[in-house]
Amino acid sequence: MTNLAGGKPQDKQSGLRYPTNGKTIYHRPLNRTKTAELSQSSFAYLFSEMVTYAQRRVTGIQDLEKRLNTQGHPIGQKLLDLLLIREPPRSQLRPLNIIALLHLIKINLWTHLFGRQADRLEKSSNPETPDEYMIVDNEPLVNAYISVPKEMSQLNCAAYVAGIIEGVCDGAGFPARVTAHSVGGKEEGEMWPGKTVFLVKFEGEVLERESLIVGKG
Amino acid sequence: MSYYFAIIGTQDNPLFEYDFGTSKQGGDGQPRFSDQARHLNQFVVHSSLDIVEEVQWTRGEMYLKVVDKFFNNYISCFATAGNVKFLLLHQPPPAASSGGSTSRSSTSIGANPTSPQTEEAIKSFFNEVYDNYVKAIMSPFYKVNMEIRSPVFRSRVAAAGRKYL
C-alpha cells in the first residue's frame, strides 16, 4: 500500500503520452450533448461483429450467451456511476432496495441505452422463487437485425444486455445472475414476436439484507 | 490541519491515496503528519470501513458525513453508486500549541470538524473528486477495482483539495 502513495507522481509520467491537443479524458464533460445519439446501423454492424467474435471456439449456446454476458458486464458497472452523476444532485441516491434498483434499470438505464423505458417489470409469482424478478422488453434493440437460425433457437443475443443489467446489479451491491429468454413467437399473429424477458435472480444475501433493512425502517 | 484521502475499492482494496494539508487561512498545503501517523492513518481509515458498511445501507445519499472518530482523527465518507468509498481523514491542529492564533483558527474550517461549514467544504471536495473519478472509470482500459495511477487524476485531486479544504 505504501508504494501506492507515490509522493512523486512525475516518476510515473515517463511512459505517459498526452494527446497532441493536450486534452485528456479528464478534460471532457460528463454530461452528454443533445445530439450524442449513435446511428443504429453502425451499432448493428458492431454488434454483429461482437456476436461473431464471441462465437469463435464456443462449445454451445450457453457458452456463447455467457461470453456475450461477460462483454456487457463491465459496461453495466461503469454506467451505474455515470447514470447517477447525471441525475440532479437532489435525486443522486444510491439504490438501497431491490425495487429502487430495478426502477433505476427500467427507467434510467433503458432510456440511456435505448431511448425509451423497458416495457414491464414483474416479480416472480412463484412463492418458491421470491428472489426472481423479470424485466420485459417487447422489442430489444440489439435483436432488431438478428435472425436466429432454427438449430440455435435457444439463443437470444440480448444476453449482452443481460450482462449490462448484471453489471449494474453487481456494482450496486446486489449480486445477481441475469439471463435473457425469448418468450414471443410461439403463436401466429402475435404482436411482439421478439419479446424478451430478462430474468434477474438475486443472491440469497441480498434478500437477507433486504428483510433486515425493511425490518428497521 | 492535515488530510489523508483514500479511495477504497469494492473488495476493501486501496485504489488511490493522497495526503495534503490545508490551503485555507494561509496554510501551505503540506500535511503535518508524523512518520508514525502516516502508517497509522492507513489503519484508522481501514478500520472505519466496518462502520461505513453499516451506515451506507441506512441512507441513500452518497455523502455520509463524519462516520468515525479515532482520538483526534475524524473520518468523512462518500460512497459512490458503484460501492467504491472515498474516505477522508482529517486531523484538526492541536489547539493549545498554536498560541496566539487560536481565536482565528477556531473559526476556520477544520478546527471544528463537525461544523456545517466543514461538512459543506468536504462535500464539495468529494463531489469534485467523484466527477473526476467517473471520468477515470469511463476509460475503456479501466476495470473496476484497478488502481488509479493517472498523474492527471492526482493533480485534479490536489487542485480540489486546494480549492475547498
Please name each of the domains of chain A with its CATH number.
39-216 (3.30.1380.20)
Number of structural domains chain B divides into: 1
Strand partners, B87: B6, B77
Phi then psi for B2, rounded to 5 degrees?
A: -120, 150
Question: What are the CA-CA distances from residue B74 to residues B24, B68, B89, B113 (Å)?
Answer: 18, 6, 6, 7
Question: Radius of gyration (Cα) for chain A, nearest Å?
Answer: 20
Q: Considering chain A, what is the average pLDDT of its residues?
A: 85
Residue B146's identity, in one-letter code, is M
Q: pLDDT tens for chain A, 217 residues: list them.
A: 444 444 444 444 556 677 777 788 888 888 776 667 788 899 999 999 999 999 888 888 999 999 999 999 999 999 999 999 888 888 888 999 899 999 999 999 999 898 889 999 999 888 888 899 999 999 899 888 888 888 888 889 999 999 999 999 999 999 999 999 988 767 777 788 888 999 999 999 999 988 888 766 5
Residue B164: is its pLDDT beyond 70? yes
pTM above 0.90, yes or no: no
A212 contacts A204 by C-beta, under 8 angstroms: no
CB contact under 8 A, B81 and A171: yes
The CA distance from A91 to A89, in Å, is 6
CB contact under 8 A, B82 and A30: no
Instruction: List CB contacts (< 8 A) between B133 and chain A.
Output: 81
In the block, cell 490536489 appears at: B158
pLDDT tens-place string over residues A187-205: 777 788 888 999 999 999 9
Which residues in B have their CB inside 8 Å of a CB on A? 10, 14, 16-19, 42, 56-62, 79-83, 130-139, 143-144, 147, 149-156
In this structure, what CATH number is given to the domain that contains residue B11?
Answer: 3.30.450.70
Q: How many CA atoms lie within 13 A of A109 on its CB side?
A: 27
CB-nearest partner of A30 from B16, B131, B144: B131
CA distance A182 to chain B (A): 30
A172 contacts A79 by C-beta, under 8 angstroms: no
What is the interface pTM, i.e. ipTM, of the complex?
0.84
Range of the domain at B72: 2-164
Chain A nearest-CA residue for B80: A81
CB contact under 8 A, A171 and B136: no
Instruction: List CB contacts (< 8 A) between B153 and chain A.
Output: 26
Tell me how crowded residue A209 is: count the other CB atoms within 10 A of its CB: 17
